Amino acid sequence: MDLFDFKDGREGYYGEYGGTFLPEILHSTIEELKAEFRKAKEDPAFWQEFMQLMQSYSGRPTPVTHLENLSKKLGGAQIYVKREDLNHTGSHKINNVMGQGLLVKRMGKTRVIAETGAGQHGYATATMAARFGFESRIYMGAIDVARQRPNVFWMENMGSEVIAVTDGQQTLKDAINECLRDWVTNMDDTHYVLGTACGPHPFPEMVSWFQSIIGREAREQMLSSAGKLPDRIYACVGGGSNAIGLFQGFMDDKDVQLVGCEAGGFGPGKGNHASRLAYKDASVGVAQGMKTYFLQNDDGNMLETHSVAAGLDYIGVNPVLVHLWEEDRVRFEAVTDTQVTEALKVTMRSEGLIPALETAHAFAQAILEAEQMSKDDVVLINMSGRGDKDIFTIADALGDDHWKKFIKQKADAYSSEG
């Protein structure tokens, strides 16, 4: 299945979703990006350059690890993990960012901007900017700045300016809005390094293409290490880039179930979560450059969201995944904060792995289902990031009183510094 073969003439649409909804002033900038991306995609030398960069700089290919202890403990399916946490900067975000960095060089631009929630995309963008010599600015909701302080520290020390966004709910959607405002003002020398497979065309296609490296590797690795394709694949879904990256390697394998794991937060009820599709609280709308499902009220105003994971706390979802959901190719499940905490505990104790809070949503759903499956079944989890960045939030979730006191002291000190 070629998700990006727009033979019907509706370029940038996946079924009824996607498109390019932007102010007229950005038209020429988007057209330039589409043209440059199309040339790069049709040029085998560009992909070779990208692959070489990812091998020499980021450490690809990332391995697949069999979680023997956890599989034995659960007594069900054999659990494997695609180790995107072992990328440079600690997540899958570097795949997309370095690819877009190569495009920026081709376009001759000198400045990059980016939004970030969990901080991993901002961290990766700051890394790319330092590597290629670009000026960079990262927009991040003020709440996320406080709860993801380790990543902010690295961004700033690599030379990026981090802007704490105080509008709205002060999280990811508000950071995206600020990026779009900046882009309108600085189109000539600036490229917006959008971090997930959302936004206006060509971003969903472009980000998915760079992230497809995950699925390409994983398919071969599973055949080699497990001797078969996985029966089910799990990935967390905020915007959806790590999920669509992995899923692309198995899109034509109809016996492989694809499972997207959303932020169930406190559970069902508007404002309690960031689950667009599993809880069915979202509706179709147009915002932030695309047509897709959003958590919004009847007037089209965006609802508040909640998740223990900053990177999943988003009001919209990748239009490609929405189309696949409507086609019954991808199943969506909601995972609560409590389930995430329990999954973290068992994964850390049984395997010595510390998944990011975002990734732990996929672990939680896989653990729940694997226990009910046969020992001959195989499941694959995309470990999209590692949990170093979440140390304060995880300590709080695990009820560590010493760390809670330490976190409060640091938060108060940071607030007093402005």
Active-site residue, from 71, 91, 109, 115:
115
Q: Exactly one of 91, 241, 307, 384 is catalytic; name it.
A: 384
Give a yes or no: residue 418 inside a domain.
no
How large a percentage of the chain has pLDDT more than 90?
A: 82
Classify residue 99 as exposed, middle or buried by CB count within 10 Å of its CB (0-12, 13-18, 19+): buried
Residue tagged active-site, from 93, 173, 291, 389 = 93
231 and 190 together in one domain: no
pLDDT digits (tens, 9 = 90+) for 161-198: 999 999 888 888 888 889 999 999 999 999 999 999 99
pLDDT of 80 strictly over 70:
yes
Residue 36 to residues 102, 106, 180, Cα–Cα distance (Å): 11, 8, 20
On the 0-12 / 13-18 / 19+ scale of CB atoms within 10 A, 154 is middle
* Segment 75-92 mean pLDDT: 97
Please tell me whether residues 194 and 283 are part of one structural domain: no
**How many structural domains comprise the chain?**
2
pLDDT digits (tens, 9 = 90+) for 260-311: 999 999 999 999 999 999 999 999 999 999 999 999 998 889 999 999 998 8
Residue 66 CB neighbours (<10 A): 15
Same domain membership, residue 221 and residue 197: no
Q: Are residues 151 and 247 in the same domain?
A: no
Name the average pLDDT for the chain.
Answer: 93
**Do 169 and 143 contact (CB within 8 A), yes or no?**
yes
Confidence of residue 407 (pLDDT cuts 50, 70, 90): low
pLDDT number for residue 191: 97
Q: What is the CATH number of the domain that holds 113?
A: 3.40.50.1100
Is 417 domain-assigned?
no
Q: Is pLDDT of 388 > 90?
A: no
Domain limits at 193? 13-55+92-203
Is 333 designated active site? no
Q: Is the pLDDT of residue 336 over 90?
A: yes
Quote the radius of gyration of the chain (alpha carbons, Å).
20
Q: Are residues 275 and 385 in the same domain?
A: yes
Angle at which helix 203-225 crosses helix 27-41, to 10 degrees, equals 30
388 or 333, which is more confident?
A: 333
Is 259 part of any domain?
Answer: yes
Cα 325 to chain center, whole Å? 18
Instruction: Determine whether 115 is an active site residue.
Output: yes
Nearest C-alpha neighbor of 18 from the set 234, 324, 261, 281: 324
- Per-residue pLDDT reduced to its tens digit, 301-317: 999 999 999 889 899 99
| Short-list 120, 66, 128, CA closest to 379 | 66
